[in-house]
Amino acid sequence: MKRKYFFFDIDGTLAAGEMRNQYIPESTKQALKELRAAGHFVAIATGRSYAMAVDYMREMGFSNMVSDGGNGITIDNKLIGIKPMDYDKCIALIEECEQKGFIWAFSPDNSKRRLAKDSRFDEFTKDAYMDTEVAPGLDPRDYKEIYKVYIACFPPEEERLEMLKELPWCRFFKEFLFVEPADKSVGIKAMVDHLGGDYGDVVVFGDEKNDLSMFRKEWTSIAMGNAIEDLKNVADYVTDDCDKDGIYNACRHFGWI
């Protein structure tokens, strides 16, 4: 069988359950084992930053990953590179947040921290996703790069921010949103190009809005049974739910394992 290049979203695709209490179904582990044994290339494709995803990658037995919403590439456990966000647009967004009274924070590097100028971000969000480091007098212009911006607000308050129309963003929690890269297909193409592969041999699995960018006509796109309808509508195939053997059943359906 010709070698395929598999890319899996994490939350709701590889991992079932709530974000803070996730698990990998046994059938998914078996599917990954059989794909590797058959000589296929397997990788994670996540919106998470490299720093927040690398431990998970290794725990799952992966050595390849598209991270940072398509801006980060890891091959054979080696970080090839991470591209930051558009600096000027992020600065303009933070300045607009200041003018309109929004609480903000940002990540200036590839780490598990975000910076905030006071304790209000933690008090508002009560988020334990990553560490918030308070830096009084914080000025984002003192930093050369910005990898993510976080805005604390309830929906639909973000509609007041005009600069959000210029940047990719998503919301996983009602208390705050993430301004982060959102085109996983960029990282997938970069990785396949690096490996000398063919886009026609790519297979992607996903379930949420931030997976829409990697559901492209150049390759095979598979939506989980628990996926949003917009993703199912553009998928080449819809499998079962993540926690009902979705990945394993799809791989068996296509004869990849």
Q: Which residues of 25-52 are buried (b: 16+ CB within 10 A; e: fewer)?
A: bebbeebbeebeeeebbbbbbbbbbbbb
- Where residue 18 falls among pLDDT bands split at 50, 70, 90? confident
- Where residue 122 falls among pLDDT bands split at 50, 70, 90? very high
Is residue 237 helix, strand or coil?
Answer: strand
What whole-number percentage of the chain has pLDDT above 70?
A: 99
CA–CA dist 146, 162 (Å, integer)? 19
Q: Count CB-CB contacts under 10 A for residue 19.
A: 12
Q: Convert the pLDDT of each residue in 76-107 to its tens digit.
A: 999 999 999 999 999 999 999 999 999 999 99
**Does position 48 have pLDDT exceeding 70, yes or no?**
yes
CATH 3.30.1240.10 positions along the chain are 87-179
Q: Mind giving me the DSSP string for 2-51?
A: ---EEEE-TBTTTBBS-TTS-B--HHHHHHHHHHHHTT-EEEEE-SS-HH
Nearest residue to 234 via CA among 203, 256, 254, 213: 213
Model pLDDT, residue 60: 85
Q: Convert the pLDDT of each residue in 190-205 to its tens digit.
A: 999 999 999 999 999 9
**Does position 117 have pLDDT exceeding 90, yes or no?**
yes
What does the pLDDT average to over 36-59?
Answer: 94
CATH 3.40.50.1000 positions along the chain are 5-82+182-253
- Where residue 20 falls among pLDDT bands split at 50, 70, 90? low
**Does position 129 have pLDDT exceeding 90, yes or no?**
no
Q: Convert the pLDDT of each residue in 162-189 to its tens digit.
A: 999 999 998 889 999 999 998 999 999 9
What is the CATH number assigned to the segment(s) 87-179?
A: 3.30.1240.10
Q: Convert the pLDDT of each residue in 225-246 to its tens digit.
A: 999 999 999 999 999 999 999 9
What is the CATH number assigned to the segment(s) 5-82+182-253?
A: 3.40.50.1000
**Torsion sign, CA atoms 173, 178, 183, 185:** negative
Model pLDDT, residue 253: 97
- Where residue 161 falls among pLDDT bands split at 50, 70, 90? very high
| Average pLDDT over the chain, rounded to an integer | 95
- Where residue 35 falls among pLDDT bands split at 50, 70, 90? very high
Model pLDDT, residue 19: 67
